[in-house]
Amino acid sequence: MPDCELPSRRVHSCYQRRLADSPVGGRPVLIELTVRRLYCENDLCGRRPFVEQVAGLTFR
């Protein structure tokens, strides 16, 4: 979410993100996500391009 907290659907680009998690059964866990970089259309927003976050999984 951008600094202004207004939702946006305007996609700037996408990229792969890899998250390492705690081992399960002694084996490493790697989570691969495709996340979107979005563009805030609010001219007064301090964070015009921003990356979407997955609730409970990723954070800024």
Q: Is residue 56 part of a domain?
A: no
Q: What is the pLDDT of residues 1-59, one digit of tens each?
A: 678 888 888 899 999 988 888 888 999 998 899 999 999 988 888 888 888 888 887 87
Q: Is residue 4 part of a domain?
A: no
Model confidence pTM above 0.75 = no
15: tokens are 């990229």
Residue 52 main-chain phi, psi, to 5 deg: -65, 150
Pairing relationship of beta strands 11-24 and 27-39 according to DSSP bridges:
antiparallel
Q: Is residue 1 part of a domain?
A: no
- Other CB atoms closer than 10 Å to residue 10's CB: what's the count? 10
The total of structural domains in the chain comes to: 1
Q: Is residue 2 part of a domain?
A: no
Q: Is residue 60 part of a domain?
A: no
d(CA 53, CA 46): 18
Structural domain including 15 reads 11-51
